[in-house]
Structure formats: structure tokens, C-alpha cells
Structure 1
Amino acid sequence: MRDGTIVIAGASLAGLRGAEALRANGFTGRLVVVGDEPHPPYDRPPLSKHVLTGEIPPGATTLPGVGALRAEWRLGTPALGLDRDGRALHLADGGRVAFDRLLIATGARARPWPMPGEARLAGVHTLRSRDDATALAAGLAARPGRVLILGAGFIGCEAASSIRALGLPVTVVDPAPAPLAGALGSVIGGFVAGRMEAAGVDVRLGARVTHLEGDRAVRRARLEGGGTIEADLVVVALGAVRNTGWLAGAGLDADEGGLSCDGACRALDAAGRPVPGIFAAGDVARFPHPLYGNRPVALEHWGNAVAQAAHAARAMLDGPDSVEPYGELPAFWSSQFGLNIKSLGLTEGADAVAIVQGSPRTGRFLAVYGRAGRTVAAVSVNAGRWLPAYEGPIRDGALFPPITGGADQPRPEPMPPGLPAHEAA
């Protein structure tokens, strides 16, 4: 069906690319894009990098293609509720938008500091949206005496890199044993920690902040077990929460971890049944990944948002039975402290890692992750040219490690990756 009304909830990367895919595949009906922010869809990766350093103004992050899309834009107007029976969205301005089909692409938001009063202190920032980046860049321009970053995940580490590039003192606190330990494990994270320290970052691992203190403006952080860190700007980088709260009462299987959907991107109801006419894509979507035993995953990857939105668009137009189960190979990249980190696959649940190309001593290497003797992921550090060779072995679940014996390869020595405990699928 290529006519009628399709509403896209979420003026995000996934929302924009989904809308483009609908038009490219022949949809001729009414297309409405609803977004909670006043800005047209924009690119998020530069926010923690070039926007913070002043190389790119926040307004220059608008995604290409926005002006060419034939759609009605309802920006700055969040969706407050979903009327499944009436097939309509309820909006914050009191409006109601009816649909024949709906694509939910509301993404995720930064997880806030858990004490609201402390989170409202001047100088306390999160970093997820364009407005977040604008406010944080302005705070950095005031040359704070010390910046404290809570969390050493990708956003926390990228922000630390950008802020050090501005010549500002930075302390990073995380309860994990290494930066990026949740995503890459402590083996690779330990290498990143060395780079951070070499760049002048005060890295406090195995430490936890319990309170932020100050009179109107933040002045210090109190540590668990005693001690404080003086700081007059704090970046809260504690991960993301999927934007599903507005779906409360709609009878869908949705929580802070995402909106569950099937391999055709159809949203699932509370009983796990596909809901006709309602689809999901991007950061908000939690789907069964066929490469990982169909265990539910939710990805915050740029490439996934684009690919899944296009997959959902095809299913919306040609029917769910017209598409294979969605199974794009997860991939992401990060730039920090002179490192270009790229990844294929999911490291979650891996029980071994091996350096199969290069060496951490040279700052250029590739690591492969295994689970139960099979290859599940690969991560390159300043060595992206080696990564494509591992796409096939990851897709095929090849024996771990999959490629050995090359003239320029070190002898693989598998070791525990230092990832968080994971329940077997």
C-alpha cells in the first residue's frame, strides 16, 4: 500500500532516513514527521567532538536531505501518547495526528544525574542533543577551572578528548576497572586508559560519585567512601534511556530498554504479538538479532539507524512477509585521543579476546572477540583496513580466532576480555 497517511514519531536520523526510504520506494500519500526538538534532524556524532571544540557550529550538524523531503514537519511538539485503537498520536500542544501506519523512531535521551536537585545546579550538563552540546560548549568557553566527567563510556571519553584539546583540566570518574569496559572490556579499555592519562586526563577508575555539591552552581563532587573532587563544570555521561515513556498505556512491550519489535520491525504488544501498522527503527527499537541467537538487542549505532529505518519502510509498504528478518551487522566508530576505534559485531557476552593484527605497544592493532569458541566481534584501533576481513567470519560464527598464520600476524593468545557479566542467551 503506497497511499494513505504515514506518521513518523521522531525527527531523528532513523526518522529522516525512514521517510526518505518510503518516498524512494513509491509512497505517494501524506507523510507527517513529528519531533520533540525544534531542530530538523541532525547528526549526533559531531556533538561530542567538533562542536565542543568549536570547529563546527551546532547549526551545521543538520543532516543532508532534510530540505528535499516531501513531508509535513511538526517540530518542537513531542508526542504525549498513542491511541492504538483510534490510530492517532496525541501531541503536547493538544493536537491529534491520525495515521494509517506509524513508524516510531523516538530514539533515546541522556540518562540524567539521579538526584534532580543536584542535576539542576548550574554547570551540570548532559550530552545527547544539539541543545546539550550548545550549552556545554558555552560552559567550556568560560574556561572552567576543572571539568569532571561522570562515566567513561564512549560519550564520556570523547568529551574528555575534546575538552583536553581545549587545554582544560579534566577528571573522569567511573566505577568500572577501565574506560569503555562495558563495550570493549578491560583489556582494550586498559590501553585507552593509558592514552587518556598520557593526554593529561586524571582518570579515577573503580570510583563512584555519590553527590554533587554547590550553592546554585556545582563546586565539587563527593566520592563514595570519602573524599571530594573540586569541579565547576560536570558532564554526566551515564548512558542513555530509550524514549518510550510516551507509550505508557498503549499496551506495547516498551520500557527504558526500548520498544520490542520483530524481524520485520513491527512493534510488539505486551503479549509479544506484532501490532499491525506500527513499526519501530533506530535507537528506540529492540529486536531479535539473527546473528546472536535472536536475543533482543537495542543499538545506538549510526549505521543501524539508517539500515533499520530502510528495512521498516520496505515492510510498511510491501508487507512484513516481504522482508527477511532484520539482521544488519552492528558497527560503530569512535574518535578520541588520537585513536580511531572501529567495531563490527557485538562484544556482549564474549568470553575471550585475542590481538590478531598489530600490537597495542605500537598503538595500531585489531582484536577479535569469541564466545563459546565462535567469533562474535572485532575491534580495530588505528587499523581499520584490517577490519573488513572479519565481517564474514563474524556473520558465519567462524571458529575463534578465525584468521591465523599470516606472515605479519602475532601469535594469538586468547585471554578473558574483562567484559561485564552477561546472562547466556
Structure 2
Amino acid sequence: MSPSRQLSKVVVVGTGVAGTMAAQTLRAEGYDGELTIVGGERHAPYHRPALSKKLLTGEVHRAGIDMAPQSALEAHALRGATAVGVDMASRIVRVRDVGQDRSLPFDGLVIASGAVVRQWPVGPVPDGVMTLRTVDDCLAIRSKLGRRKRVVVIGGGFIGVEVAASLRSMGLKVTLLSRTDALLQSALGEEMGRYWTDLHRRHGVDVRCGVEVDGFVGTRHVKAVRLSDGSKVKADLVLIGLGVEPATDWLQGSGIKVDRGVVCDATGAAQGATDVVAAGDVARWWHPLYEQHLRIEHWDQASRQGITAARNLLVGPAKAQEYDAVPYFWSDQYDTKLQLLGVPTDYDSVEVIEGSTSSGGFVAAYERAGRTAAVLSTIPGRVNDYRSEIAQRAAFPPHFHAGQPAASSSR
């Protein structure tokens, strides 16, 4: 297949799964012009989900998380380079590369700059207070684990609970602090979040919900975490999991619309620009099914968006196709696989429709305005049997449809 219009200089900003899949798709779809890939890390592209799981525990080695080599793409890869601006009038991306400023001309641009981890918001922190976003972060944490027996994890979202599960499986003493009333509450709601709260407690994690962290004790190295009620939690190592923010600072003044991410239509086209698409953690795409802009920080979404954005960039807006796939996500914690199909945000009710939370194997469905918005399951693969119910906005509760196509198995 060859592109239906001629582009000669395409720049991809970002080397995560969205940027990598976009670059691979450009070549696979017949683009034979200049291709430049800009990545802030010096590493070749790698699979980020393993950082909080198997790479952290040592179950896989560093080389085991690399994506396919980019050398086959015939692309100019700038590693350790940062996009610092874009001028749409002159069609140039400004890049800082090893302390030098460069200008990269383009007639097609893929924005896949991802997200940056939220740091502790109140001033500097002592040594031993760390975040996990990159492979270097993961290896730095691993290097300290042998000497650190008491770990405090701050944050009850997915990164926090996955890190807590991994560290607990390694035999470490783990305290998990969350300001919400249940773990994963912002993603799954309090009802379903309580299941994962109990799961972590059953595995020996000291879970404390509804607490606020005030700061840290220790001048050179952290000794404890201080809570807002004045109490302290002893710690040899603290891992902060407060989420991420889309990496959009470099787009200021470009005319590209940014509102909690790069605002895109359903084809991935960035608003406020032409011949510019965005994908992955940085992008807020209009989703036809949910009739709102969604920014979803999951592997499957980033991969599919990267492919779709690249194809649509090549064919142009007149032939671009909307992306309306039902979002899919998974998370392994201990011996439990969480699988979520759909978007449960702003749901009206949630109901267990198969099994029971007490047995550990269950399916729960989320309802919004009388329709099925999402399905959550701990039974591997079962969410796929409800895919058509979600895609067709079926009445709630949904009906079981066995044998539907499987979703991707990676996050």
C-alpha cells in the first residue's frame, strides 16, 4: 500500500509505544521519505509496563523489555534529545540535542511525547524518595532494594498498587498510602476499589486509605513519612506514584490546542494545526462511543492510536478513519489479573454480573444512563465476551457473548 499523498519529511516526537508504532506504521504503509524520531531517553524503545512488574522484581532482564530494533526503519533516531518547541508557520520542530539546538523541518508531524511523572509538590526531598517512570528509574530502585527492607509507596493508583504488589512479592515490608477511600478508586470507583484494597491487605501490605502525606523525615536519607495527623511511618525507601502529566510544554505558542493533553478529533488530527497528529499518553482523542475527549494512559490504547494516527497522516484528512475501539487495559497484581474493557468514568452504578468478589473470580459491569459503559473482570479473557455490548451501547446489565475476538494482552 502506498500513501495517497506525498510527504517527504516526517518527524515523530516520542519513542514510547505510540511513537514507535507510528514510525513502524509509516514505513509499513509505504512512506519512503525522511523519517526522524526524537526521544528524550538514550535507550532504544522499550515496553514500559514491565517497569512496575517483572523488571522491578528481576523476573526479566533489562534486554527482555526492548521493542523491535528501529534500525530496520531507515530512520534518523535522535536519542537523548528533547523537543523544545514547534513553529507551525515555518514547519520546524526545535530540538535540544546534547546541549545543542537543532531545527527539524517537517511536512508531517506525529506528537507522541508521552507524559512526565508528577514529582513531590512541596520542595526538595531526601535521598531515598524516588519515582518510577523510566527504565533508569526502575534500575535505580532495584539497586537500592537489597539494603532497604521497609518501603512506603505513596499513591493508590495503578503505578502505586503494581509497585506495592511487586515489592511485597519480593518479601519486603510494604506500606501503601492513599488519599482516597479505596485503592484504584479514581479508575474503578470505590465499590470495585475495595476489592483490590482487601487483596493487598491479604498479601500483607499495610494499606492506609484516606490519609494525607505531609512530608518526609530525614536530612540526608529518608527515615520516615510524616502524615498530616502528625504520625510517622518508618521507611528505608519511599516510592511516589502520584500519576503523570502530558508532556505538552514544548507546544506552547504553536497554535496546537492543548487542554489536559493535545486535543484531537476522532482520527488523531491535532486541533489548531494541519498535517499534525497525536497519539498515546499526550493525546486527548474524541471518542465516538463515549462522545467526549479521552486521554487514556494504557499500552493498548497508545499502540493502536500510534498505528491509526500514522495511517491517517499518510492518507490525509479527507480519507482519515475514526478510531472508535473500546479501550482495554490490564494489570497483574499477585495472582490476580485485572482486565477492564471500556471507560467507567462518571458511571451511575456498578453490578457484579458473574461470580462474586468473595470467591475472587468475578465480572462487574458499569452502567451510565441505562447503558453498559465498561466491564471489569478477574477471570482472564472474560471481558472480551462483552465487547459488543459496550461497543453497541447495549442496555444494562449486559448479556454474555462468548467467543468474541480477544483484546491485546499487554498494557
What's the TM-score once normalised by structure 2's chain length?
Answer: 0.93
Are 2:128 and 1:132 equivalent residues in the alignment?
no
**Partner residue in 2 for 1:318:** 315
Report the Cα offset of residue 384 of structure 1.
2.4
Which amino acid letter does the alignment assign opposite residue 227 of structure 2?
Answer: L
Identity %: 39
Q: 1:284 aligns with which of 282, 285, 299?
A: 282
Cα deviations by residue, 1:187-244 (Å, 9 ceiling, x for unpaired): 1111111111111100000101011221121111111122111112111001111111
Question: Alignment partner for residue 385 of structure 1, among 381, 385, 398?
Answer: 381
1:346-388, CA deviations, whole angstroms, 9 ceiling, x for partnerless residues? 010111111111111111111000001100000111x123211
Corresponding residue number in structure 2 for 1:268:
271
Is 1:402 the counterpart of 2:398? The answer is yes
In the TM superposition, residue 29 of structure 1 has moved relative to its aligned partner by 0.4
Tell me the residue number matched to 1:101: 108
Distance across 2 between alignment mates of 1:405 and 1:244: 41
Per-residue deviation, 1:49: 0.5
Deviation at 1:65, TM superposition (A): 4.4
* 1:342 match: secondary structure: strand
Q: Using the TM superposition, name which of 159-168 and 219-228 deviates more.
A: 219-228
Deviation at 1:405, TM superposition (A): 13
Q: Distance in 2 between matches of 1:84 and 1:205?
A: 47
Q: Provide the rounded CA distance (Å) in 1 between the counterparts of 2:285 and 2:317.
A: 14
Indicate the residue corresponding to 1:236 in structure 2.
240
Whichever residue aligns with residue 40 of structure 1, its letter is: A
Secondary structure in structure 2 of the residue aligned to 1:17: helix
For 1:99 and 1:83, how far apart are their aligned partners in 2?
Answer: 10
Q: Is the 8 A contact 1:346 1:376 kept in 2?
A: yes
* Rounded Cα–Cα distance in structure 2 between residues aligned with 1:75 and 1:64: 16
Report if the CA contact (8 A) 2:385-2:400 is conserved: no
Task: Give the secondary-structure state (helix, strand or coil) at the position aligned to 1:334.
Answer: strand
Contact 2:91/2:105 (CA < 8 Å) preserved in 1? yes
Alignment partner of 1:222 out of 208, 226, 229: 226
Matches of 1:404 and 1:240, distance apart in 2: 35
| 1:117-266 matched pairs, under 5 angstroms | 117-118=124-125, 121-142=126-147, 144-255=148-259, 257-266=260-269
C-alpha displacement of 1:400: 0.6
What is the SS of the residue equivalent to 2:318?
A: helix
Determine which of 294, 299, 306 is the counterpart of 1:297: 294
Q: Tell me if 1:359 matches 2:356.
A: yes
- Which shows bigger deviation, 130-139 or 319-328? 319-328
C-alpha contact (below 8 Å) 1:264/1:311 kept by paired residues: yes
Describe the superposition over 1:142-199 as per-residue Cα deviations: whole angstroms up to 9, x where unpaired. Answer: 2x13101000111101100110111110000001111111111121111111111111
Secondary structure, aligned partner of 2:85: strand
- AA matched with 1:26: G
Aligned-pair CA distance for 1:127:
0.9
Q: What SS does the corresponding residue of 2:101 show, helix, strand or coil?
A: coil
Distance 1:392 1:130 in 2: 37
Residue 369 (structure 1) aligned to one of 366, 370, 382: 366
User: Which residue of structure 2 lines up, in the alignment, with residue 306 of structure 1?
Assistant: 303
Please state whether the residue corresponding to 1:391 is helix, strand or coil: helix
2:77 is matched with: 73
CA deviation string 1:6-54 (max 9, x = no partner): 0001111111100111111110101000011101111011100011111
1:15-34 to 2 correspondences below 5 Å: 15-34=19-38
* Structure 1, unpaired ranges of 5+: 270-274, 407-425
SS at match of 1:403: coil
1:419 corresponds to which residue?
none
Is contact 1:345–1:376 with CA below 8 Å preserved after alignment?
Answer: yes
SS of 1:79's equivalent in the other structure is: strand
CA distance in 2, matches of 1:124, 1:242: 22
Does the Cα contact within 8 Å between 2:386 and 2:400 map onto a contact in 1?
A: no
Q: Distance in 1 between the 2:58 and 2:24 partners?
A: 31
Give the TM-score taking structure 1 as reference length. 0.90
Q: Judge conservation of contact 1:331–1:343 (CA < 8 Å) in 2.
A: yes
Whether the aligned pair in 2 keeps the contact of 1:2 and 1:28 (CA below 8 Å) is no
Contact 2:386 2:401 in 1 (8 A): no
Structure 1 residue 404 displacement after superposition = 7.4
Counterpart Cα distance in 2 of 1:59 and 1:182: 33
Match of 1:330 in 2: 327
What CA deviation, in whole Å up to 9, does each residue of 1:331-354 have, x standing for no partner? 000000211000100010111111
8 A Cα contact 1:2 1:26, kept in partner: no
Question: Cα distance, 1:251 vs. partner?
Answer: 2.1
Report the residue type matching 2:392 in the other structure: D
SS state at 1:392 partner: helix
Aligned length: 395
What RMSD, in angstroms, separates the aligned Cα atoms of the two structures? 1.5
